[in-house]
Amino acid sequence: MLRYNIRIAIKSLRRNPILTSVIIGGIALGICASTTFTTVRHMFARDPLPGKSSNLFYVRMDNWDPHAPYPTAPGGPGEAIPPQISYRDAMALMRSNMPVRQSASFIGQMTVYPDPKVGRPSSEMIRLVFSDFFPMFEVPFAYGGPWDKRADAKAEQVVVIDDDTNQKLFAGANSVGKRIRIEDREFTVSGVLKPWRPFIRMYDMNGNFVAAPEPVYMPFSLTPSMQIRSAGNSDGWKGCCNTFEEFLASDTDWVQFWVELRSPADAAQYRRFVDGYVLEEKKHGRFPRPLMNRVTSLLDLMVESGVIRPQVTAMAAISILFLAICALNLTGLLLSKFLARAPEVSVRRALGATRLDVFLQHITECELVGLAGGIIGMLLSIGVMRLIGKLITTTSVIALDSEMIMAALFLSLGAGFLAGLYPAWRICSVQPAVQLKI
Amino acid sequence: MLRMKNIKKIYRTELVETHALEDFSLNVETGEFVAIMGPSGSGKTTFLNVAGLLDVFEGGVYELDDKDVSRLTDREMSHIRNQKIGFIFQGFNLIPDLDLFDNVDVPLRYRGMPAGERKTRIERAAEMVGLSSRMHHLPSQLSGGQQQRVAIARVLAADPKLILADEPTGNLDSLMAREIMDLLDEINRRGTTIVMVTHSPECAARASREIHLFDGRVIDVDRPPALFGGALKSAK
């Protein structure tokens, strides 16, 4: 019967193409808006590392001013804590053997000198990390791999470069073992990344978290010898510092610190370890504020950092409401269309159609309209999402995935059902005897 | 086939009550061809609506094919209409978007019949009404007489026990009317009971008996008197 109802519905829709276009257009508009905003929300709410994110934890310690807490952002959480930790604390935590993997990390800015034949020197953002960083965040390699632990320990001059950089400097060839000059030093390429564009820069949510990952990565342990300063945010409440060594030893917070743990139980144990470290440091006059350390999972940090903004959630909700209003507006059109068909429906009823048969026939037509509107709406939303992607980031990362396509189809069918429910109920309630002259 | 006893049907508005059928009693035996006649407002249409289970009634008993159908659910009434009753309308009432094949197919679809059997029945019915070559014509591409033959084919394909026809020749010229009456005669000869409302004495003369209505009651019946139950005597 479904195939029959679909065939009858198509005939009905073709009978009045203008009215059909208006109804489909209304649904398409609603689907475009709702799909766009729910996709934006979905993009930022989804798990960036499925199966792994629950094992990654971000470490923070409150080393702020004893007389005033770390300032909160307007509307932010009441109990604020510095979002990064100091270099000296990061290095102290690195000595723990509890985590499966761990990495301190920060972003620097340095000049890369390519072979003069292939390009001119350029200032690049370079991330300083430990070798564990790459497997922790599942960074994909095209050639080679991360440097080894020995390179971390000995501050060897090795780098990992991204695909774009490899294209620019080495024409995309396997450049492992080749050399690059950064500042006044020669570095050996240990690995080349595949094109990699996570939808958020999950390892550093302090700044623009939708920015692209950095093009070059080098060992964190080069920081003292190359006197690399952070190109990101630095927070401190005391005056600082005359020399770079003093800066490294200060309580200025500019390092992100991630650990990979086996389980939530390990996270609780690690938190106790951090607390123990801070309590020990308190004995030396550091960490003057009450004990407040955090070991936060990646997904919780995304919520805390405002990756999923309440405004985006509100917009998604409003856009679904807009779709509902579009659907309800179409109810009137469908009602007049269906009631005009009362004589035909009465004939069907006389010939044996039950009310349910009539209802299903008309709901099928509404669902076809919803589906057609949904497909057009989705195509429109792809264009709108590309536009939004260009507005909020240099590279478009907002796109429909299979989950959102299914959600949009579900919304389309829901809108069709909502628009057609009352008209279909009215037409199936028509008394055949009133319409038929028999 | 059709037994009505003391059927009462009242149409109500805020201001007035109209007794469309009042103590209406009638028996139609299996295989009969009955013509119902009467002036406008005599209750002919109401009788057909009630007989066709298209409308409910207030009082009395209605038995169709030896089954009491006085108080049925909408679903049960739809089922009986689909299985046992065929309708032939004065205005043909074909579905304009559907071609001959699909129009004849409608009652069979609601019967849930397999595609092969539906096709066989539709082709046989179209052949019986002489429209095999018009299988994919839309109603708008057919003459009035052809459209009425499609409506008859729709009934034939469904093979009901009872046909209710309302002025089946009312919109046709005399030649076409004769053709349609010939078809109804043929259907009746094969054993199908027909109840036909008509204003035409010529058409009524083709029936096995005539029943005259006035003010919602049976006021006159003709041959053969043996077929009438006692209830009808009081209605005269």
Higher pLDDT, B182 or A386: B182
Q: A38 to chain B, minimum CA–CA distance in Å? A: 40
Which residues face A109 on adjacent strands?
A125
Which pLDDT value is given to residue A191?
Answer: 97
Residue A79 phi/psi, 5-degree rounding, is: -100, 95
Give the pLDDT confidence of A423-434 residue by residue, as tens digits: 999 999 888 887
Which of B192, B179, B190, B94 is CA-nearest to residue B138? B94
Q: Inter-chain contact B158–A4, Cβ cutoff 8 Å?
A: no
**B166 SS3 class:** strand
| Sheet of B17-28, strands arranged across | B17-28, B2-12, B59-64, B67-68
Contacts of A8 in chain B (CB under 8 A): 97
Contacts of B97 in chain A (CB under 8 A): 8, 11-12, 15
Please name the residues between 69 and 108 in chain B that touch chain A, using a CB distance below 8 Å: 74-75, 78-79, 81-83, 87, 89-91, 93-98, 106-107
> Would you say the C-alpha torsion A255, A261, A263, A265 has a positive or negative sign?
negative
Local confidence pLDDT in tens for the 438 residues of chain A:
889 999 999 998 998 899 999 999 999 999 999 988 888 888 777 788 888 999 999 999 999 999 888 887 655 555 688 999 999 999 999 999 999 999 999 999 999 999 888 889 999 999 999 999 999 999 999 999 999 999 999 999 999 999 999 999 999 999 999 999 999 999 999 999 999 988 888 899 887 777 889 999 999 999 999 999 999 988 898 888 889 999 999 999 999 999 999 988 899 999 999 999 999 999 999 999 999 999 999 988 988 887 777 777 888 899 999 999 988 888 999 999 999 999 999 999 999 999 999 999 999 999 999 999 999 999 999 888 888 777 765 444 667 778 888 988 999 999 999 999 999 999 998 888 877 765
Q: Inter-chain contact B93–A343, Cβ cutoff 8 Å?
A: yes
Of all helices (H) and strands (E), which one includes residue A278? helix A264-282
Buried (b) or exposed (e) across A328-341, using 16+ Cβ within 10 A? eebbebbbebbeeb
Chain A: residue whose CA lies nearest to B54:
A433
Q: Half-sphere exposure (CA, 13 Å, Cβ side) for B171?
A: 16
Q: Does B148 touch chain A (CB under 8 A)?
A: no
Higher pLDDT, B236 or A433: A433
Which pLDDT value is given to residue A182?
Answer: 95
Show the tokens assigned to B117.
């059997």
Q: Given phi > 0 = left and psi -120 to 50 = alpha, else beta, which region is B115?
A: alpha
Query: So what's the ipTM on this one?
Result: 0.89
Show the tokens assigned to B207.
């029936």
Which residues face A143 on adjacent strands?
A192
CB A33 within 8 Å of CB A319? yes
Size of interface A-B (CB pairs under 8 A): 82
pLDDT above 70 for B226: no
Distance CA B125, CA B121 (A): 6
Q: Inter-chain contact B75–A355, Cβ cutoff 8 Å?
A: yes
Which of A162, A192, A160, A205 is CA-nearest to residue A48? A205
Distance CA A130, CA A153 (A): 9
Show the tokens assigned to A341.
């068909």
Q: Inter-chain contact B106–A11, Cβ cutoff 8 Å?
A: no
Which pLDDT value is given to residue B215?
Answer: 87
DSSP per residue over B49-66, as a string?
Answer: HHHTTSS--SEEEEEETT
Q: Inter-chain contact A433–B74, Cβ cutoff 8 Å?
A: no
Contacts 24+ apart (CB under 8 A), A148-152: A151/A190, A151/A219, A152/A219, A152/A220, A152/A221
Which pLDDT value is given to residue A377?
Answer: 93
Contacts of A347 in chain B (CB under 8 A): 89, 93-95, 106
Residue B26 phi/psi, 5-degree rounding, is: -160, 140
Q: B229 to chain A, minimum CA–CA distance in Å? A: 26
Contacts of B110 in chain A (CB under 8 A): 348, 351-354, 357
Q: A340 to chain B, minimum CA–CA distance in Å? A: 13
Distance CA B78, CA B73 (A): 9
Which pLDDT value is given to residue A74?
Answer: 54
CB B157 within 8 Å of CB B125? yes
Which pLDDT value is given to residue A393?
Answer: 56
Beta strands in A200-252 (DSSP E): 216-219
Contacts of A354 in chain B (CB under 8 A): 74-75, 78-79, 110
Distance CA A230, CA A107 (A): 6
CB B26 within 8 Å of CB B211? yes
Of all helices (H) and strands (E), which one includes residue A317? helix A310-339
Interface of A with B (CB under 8 A): 1, 4, 8, 11-12, 15, 343-344, 347-357, 431-433, 436-438
Which pLDDT value is given to residue B225?
Answer: 40
Which of A158, A273, A171 is CA-nearest to residue A217? A158
